[in-house]
Amino acid sequence: MKTRIISLKSLTAALLITAVSVSYAQTTGSGYFLEGFSKRYELNPAFAPEGKVIVSIPVLSNINIDAQSSVGLSNFLYDSKSHPGKLTTFMSPDIDRDEFLNNLPPAAQVNVGMSIDLLTIGAGTSRSYTIFDLRIRNRETVSLPKELFGFMKSSLAAGDYMIEDINVNSVSYAEMALNHSHMINDNLRIGGTLKVLYGLAYADLNIDQIDARLSEDSWKVKTNGRLMANIPGQKFKYNAVDKSLDGMESADEFSLPWSFGLALDLGAEYDMKGMVDGLKLSASISDLGFINWKKLSSFETDNNDYVEFDGFNGYDVYDSDNDDTFDQLEDDFEDMIKLDRKIDEGKKGIGLDATFRTGAEYTLPPAKWLSFGELLTLRTGTWPYLESLTSVTASPCRWFDFTGKYGVSTYGSSLGMMLNFHPSGFNFFVAVDRLSAELNPQMIPVNDFGVNVSFGLNLVVGK
């Protein structure tokens, strides 16, 4: 079973192609309405920390991990009918094709993101505040349509198949950000963040279409797709004579991508006092920008004609000590798409996934320690993301806040919470925006899952 679990990690982490992520992780949405939360300016640059000076604990300032998946272990491993007591993969003849496909969502999606703040230094007053940040951000996304798995299970059944929209994307970059917020008057505060971006690694595999024709004795496929990548320390193994791409290997020397970009955050907050006491409205847009990636290695499929394909067959699905089903699937998939046309290294501007937020918070006038908030978040990109978050915040004392939230999003509903400690001298927070995961003993998700956790520690001087 050990080797099968390792193979399944290749499926869930790379899903038959490569290492994989819905979003750029940033910081917890549960802290949007917490004035004592020193990092909420990352959600809306109009917000400012409550201390006169903020200094991060290096690396521990703000760590956010965000992951979702529409599939899990149970989608690909089954109890064997012909070998009781053993597990078998979905490629086994024991597993009915319709039963397997009915157990899948329209697309198998895996999304993972991480953000780590390396350094934060800021200072200001109640009317204006300036902060410098240095952080690393990463996003990984995979989307494989159900039709692809149906094609794998066809077992040379005659017919025509059309498979569309296969995508694997990975991007990592460093971000230097300068934030400034300012009070315009007693009601309105605005803010902006200018970000200088440095690309660390990029890879994008996009298969627009696979047209397959299956007869009783042959498979013929015509694929339209492209791969672009710049991964430091790695190079593609390309045979110019055979015009074949055979994975990657270590480069002779390590070289940085030298890819730069810019991004902008804008935000505003308006206090409705005088009209509705206790009501504040806010809005922001984040990550409005791009990275100009250089030295991109690009490969395309030759989609002029159908080519012979050996097909997905011949799998040993019962040998629990030596099961290489998923490794073989990966090899067969690479043979099918055949990225054999090399394009000269070039550059391309890749836009970030912008995020729009709008919020309303109402603090009870007779009980200012209790407030209610509504936050609407829309993230653009290949897979747009929409979430409505309702929260209740209690501040029983001046140095402690607790938030409970309920969210409804593109990925379903979720419960979350945040504990925020901000006595004189420091701010420590821990938040769980989403936690829905059933794990097996090897810590692999059994079903679809969603996890978003954040924690951090910062020094805060003065009030």
Write down the pTM of the prediction.
0.85
Provide the token pair at 90. 């979905």
Identify the domain containing residue 94 by its residue range. 2-461
Residue at 7: amino acid letter: S
Residue 439 main-chain phi, psi, to 5 deg: -105, 150
pLDDT score, position 355 = 94
pLDDT score, position 19 = 33
Burial 64-92 (b: 16+ CB within 10 A, else e): bebbbbbbbbebbbbebeeeeeebbbbbb
pLDDT score, position 134 = 96
- Which sign does the torsion angle of CA 144, 145, 148, 150 carry? positive
Query: What DSSP character marks residue 321?
Result: T
pLDDT score, position 9 = 38
C-alpha count within 13 angstroms, C-beta hemisphere, residue 282: 29
Q: Residue 213 — left, alpha, or beta (φ > 0 → left; ψ -120 to 50 → alpha)?
A: beta
For residue 232, count CB atoms less than 10 angstroms from its CB and return exposed for 0-12, middle for 13-18, buried for 19 or more.
Answer: middle
pLDDT score, position 21 = 33
At 293, is the secondary structure helix, strand, or coil? strand
Contact between 404 and 416 under an 8 Å Cβ cutoff? The reply is yes
Alpha carbons 402 and 430: distance in angstroms, whole number:
10
Provide the token pair at 17. 């192609």
Alpha carbons 335 and 226: distance in angstroms, whole number:
14
For residue 106, count CB atoms less than 10 angstroms from its CB and return exposed for 0-12, middle for 13-18, buried for 19 or more.
Answer: exposed
pLDDT score, position 318 = 60
Residue that the structure tokens 């917490």 belong to: 34
pLDDT score, position 453 = 92
Contact between 453 and 65 under an 8 Å Cβ cutoff? The reply is yes
Contact between 26 and 64 under an 8 Å Cβ cutoff? The reply is yes
pLDDT score, position 8 = 36
The CATH number assigned to the domain holding 333 equals 2.40.160
pLDDT score, position 241 = 67
Three-point CA angle 203, 209, 215, nearest 5°: 130
The contacts of residue 3 (CB under 8 Å, 6+ apart) are 321, 322, 323, 324
Domains held by the chain: number: 1
Alpha carbons 217 and 321: distance in angstroms, whole number:
31
Alpha carbons 338 and 148: distance in angstroms, whole number:
16
Sequential pLDDT tens for the chain (463 residues): 333 333 333 333 333 333 333 345 567 888 999 989 999 999 999 999 988 999 999 889 999 998 888 888 788 888 877 777 777 888 888 888 888 889 888 888 888 889 999 999 999 998 999 999 999 999 888 889 998 888 888 755 667 888 888 898 999 999 999 999 999 999 999 999 999 999 999 999 899 988 888 776 677 888 888 888 888 877 777 776 666 676 677 776 777 778 999 999 999 999 999 899 999 999 999 999 999 998 888 888 877 777 777 767 666 666 545 556 666 777 777 777 777 777 777 788 999 989 999 999 999 998 999 999 999 999 887 777 899 999 999 999 989 999 999 988 877 788 889 999 999 899 999 999 887 766 666 566 677 777 889 999 999 988 7
Listed residue (364, 376, 380, 379) closest to 405, CA to CA: 376
